[in-house]
Structure 1
Amino acid sequence: MLIGELSERTGVSPRLLRYYESQGLLETCRAANGYRHYDDTAVTTVRQIRALLASGLSTEVIRSVLPCTYGDEARVDLCPEVRSILTRELAALDERIAGLQQSRGALAAYLP
């Protein structure tokens, strides 16, 4: 399928699909005319990317985790490497949340 059809089927703009490709998340082949062609699995891959992005993962982390995903909702096969990556990401997220809570408390202290 062409990029326009993939965009329609996934609700993701062609620009974003090209970005996913540039980040190594989405594979495509090029026809002689230069058009991108995607196979039917690209729809599932884009849905997995979107689900992983919604969970707060960066495209760099997604590139590592994506080969271990399955299904439209990005279920993850928790091999030891992926478990380690997700555990590290969760710990980093917990640190950011703690920092935000501290900042919120400091800001709220200024209000009567």
Structure 2
Amino acid sequence: MAQLPEYVNVLYSGSSEKFDPGIIQSEMEKGLSKMRVGQHRVVVEQAAVLQFKTAEDSLAFEDWYFNTIRRIGFFTIPDARTGLPRSARFKNADIGTLEPQHGGYAVSKRSVTFEYLR
């Protein structure tokens, strides 16, 4: 399995995490609705920022995205809470907009959302 390249800094500060509870809900004529578990594993969405220290790193990342994971592939990232490796992919294969931070694109970033099964 591919791994997020080492030259990509993953910033989780200010990020968020959410998941779909995976339940099936039936409305009742009176009272509370009935609920049951529909999925045993749920999809978790983790927001993050990918930071690139050089313009070459941002170009190498695009090459990795198109040629290594072919836009839709899974890859290993560090978990935001535990730091342990986790298999994830980009939500909707979207790597966000490349935004310059300093001196043109010498330092840049992309806001992304990882998704994985819990």
With normalisation by structure 1, the TM-score equals 0.26
Which structure shows the bigger proportion of residues in helix conformation?
1
* Higher RCO, 1 vs 2 (CA within 8 Å, ≥6 residues apart): 2
Which structure shows the bigger proportion of residues in strand conformation?
2
With normalisation by structure 2, the TM-score equals 0.26
